[in-house]
């Protein structure tokens, strides 16, 4: 009978099954923390759990540093070739161009960083491990020449495994080529800042990466020439904890400051304005310089000194530039404060120190840190070291 039988019809699902895209989740390489990809991107690719700085593509790094709409690529027409006929090198180049893009192992752009014109080179580790070949050296040389012509500061973000072995001696020649351009920038007193990311090793660390007027590094970045395993086998002894990390090099004096990726843009802007003698950007608090009351004779001798930072002749001792106000003849922005690792350190005349503290000293080479308002370091320079003696 019909009412004893029940027609079986397929049930419709109550909820529609959602398909999750495969790139929704990201996993931290250091601690294994898994989170939504958008959360990593909002945090500038820094792990929210362990603060590990993950690698960032070159164009993303440029968008993070430069003002929106001001980026102009330099040397985009250069392409790597196979000059030595190295086996399988053309195929590897083609595969790298497909996966990483058309900018080779470095992206060179010009733009504005908080309104300040600057040239920036950003190495891309995704392109054959950021290896330095002929194109990398030529792009850096052209960007440096552009900085020489326009007198714009130069910033290079390094992330490389070293020279590209497929190009042999041609890749090693780029070390001297880039160093020669940077020496011209130093002669013209044009600032060059090097930013070391994870990893910076090999021929890159032996050339332009360590030649900056100020050397910054991201937290936890691996920085060195040879790997720790090779060094351990050569020395035959265990290496100290944290060897070849940014924090280890900061402790040994090889790096001026370890800067978090969130603070890198503001730090670069502040450094370049210090080095070029420009006023602070909008939104930054300009720290007040100490008031110096000179005797009449001293004030007359200070009338018309040439400021070593701004390269102008001042007409009074109340110049906004500290070296001009103090009558300092020599000045180097490559020195950083021993206490706060900030730049600059300004020399103080011995008479000023004696008048302020009432203490006598054997050496007149006293210094005072004006970069950080919370740092009150007064130190004496002995050869190349800064030894803390007292606070102001």
Task: Give the list of residues 6+ apart from residue 349 with CB closer than 8 angstroms, or none.
Answer: 326, 327, 364, 366
Enclosing H/E stretch for 274: helix 264-276
Task: Give the list of residues 6+ apart from residue 76 with CB closer than 8 angstroms, or none.
Answer: 102, 103
CB 129 within 8 Å of CB 160? yes
Task: Please report the pLDDT score of residue 10 as a whole number.
Answer: 74
Rounded to two decimals, the pTM is 0.69
Q: List C-alpha distances in Å: 327 to 172, 351, 380.
A: 44, 12, 18
Query: Residue 74, exposed/middle/buried by CB under 10 A (0-12, 13-18, 19+)?
Result: middle
Task: Please report the pLDDT score of residue 315 as a whole number.
Answer: 37
Q: List C-alpha distances in Å: 332 to 165, 265, 285, 339.
A: 37, 23, 24, 18
**How many Cβ atoms sit within 10 Å of the Cβ of residue 294?**
17
Q: How confident is the model at residue 282 (pLDDT cuts 50, 70, 90)?
A: low
Q: pLDDT tens-digit profile of 81-123?
A: 999 999 999 999 999 998 887 778 999 999 999 999 999 999 9
Partnered with residue 83 across adjacent β-strands are: none
CB 67 within 8 Å of CB 112? yes
Task: Give the list of residues 6+ apart from residue 44 with CB closer than 8 angstroms, or none.
Answer: 56, 64, 261, 262
Q: Return the closest-CA partner of residue 265 out of 62, 13, 30.
A: 62
Q: pLDDT tens-digit profile of 29-77?
A: 999 999 898 899 999 999 999 999 999 999 999 999 999 999 999 988 9
Q: pLDDT tens-digit profile of 144-158?
A: 999 999 999 999 999
CB 194 within 8 Å of CB 212? yes
Q: Calculate ∠ Cα 128-206-143, nearest 5°.
A: 70
Residue 292 has pLDDT above 90, yes or no: no
Partnered with residue 58 across adjacent β-strands are: none
Residue 278 has pLDDT above 50, yes or no: yes
> Greater confidence, 253 or 310?
253
Q: pLDDT tens-digit profile of 170-198?
A: 999 999 999 999 999 999 999 999 999 99
Residue 333 has pLDDT above 70, yes or no: no
């Amino acid at each position: 009978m019909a009412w004893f039988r029940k027609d079986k019809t397929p049930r419709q699902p109550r909820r529609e099954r959602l398909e999750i895209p495969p790139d929704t989740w990201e996993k931290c390489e250091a601690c294994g923390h898994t989170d939504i990809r958008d959360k990593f991107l909002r945090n500038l690719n820094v792990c929210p759990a362990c603060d590990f700085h993950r690698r960032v593509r070159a164009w993303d790094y440029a968008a993070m540093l430069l003002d929106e709409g001001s980026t102009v690529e330099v040397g985009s027409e250069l392409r790597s070739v196979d000059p030595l006929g190295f086996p399988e090198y053309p195929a590897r180049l083609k595969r790298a161009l497909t996966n990483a893009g058309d900018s080779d192992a470095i992206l060179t752009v010009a733009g504005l960083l908080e309104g300040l014109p600057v040239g920036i080179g950003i190495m891309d580790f995704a392109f054959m491990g950021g290896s330095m070949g002929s194109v990398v050296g030529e792009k850096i040389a052209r960007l440096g020449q552009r900085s020489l012509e326009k007198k714009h500061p130069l910033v290079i973000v390094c992330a490389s495994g070293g020279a590209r072995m497929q190009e042999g001696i041609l890749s090693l020649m780029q070390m001297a080529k880039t160093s020669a351009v940077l020496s011209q920038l130093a002669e013209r007193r044009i600032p060059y800042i090097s930013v070391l990311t994870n990893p910076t090793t090999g021929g890159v660390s032996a050339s332009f990466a360590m030649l900056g007027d100020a050397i910054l590094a991201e937290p936890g970045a691996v920085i060195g020439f040879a790997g720790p395993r090779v060094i351990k086998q050569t020395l035959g002894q265990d290496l100290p904890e944290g060897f070849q990390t940014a924090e280890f090099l900061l402790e040994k004096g090889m790096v001026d400051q370890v800067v978090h990726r969130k603070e890198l843009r503001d730090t670069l802007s502040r450094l370049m304005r210090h080095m070029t003698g420009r006023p602070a950007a909008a939104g930054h608090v300009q720290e007040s310089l100490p008031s110096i009351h000179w005797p009449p004779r001293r004030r007359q001798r200070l009338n018309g000194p040439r400021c070593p930072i701004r390269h102008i002749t001042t007409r009074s001792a109340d110049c906004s530039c500290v070296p001009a106000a103090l009558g300092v003849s020599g000045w180097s922005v490559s020195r950083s404060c021993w206490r706060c690792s900030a730049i600059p350190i300004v020399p103080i005349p011995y008479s000023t120190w004696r008048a302020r503290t009432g203490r006598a000293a054997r050496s007149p080479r006293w210094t005072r840190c004006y970069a950080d308002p919370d740092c009150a370091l007064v130190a004496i320079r002995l050869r190349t070291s800064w030894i803390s003696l007292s606070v102001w």
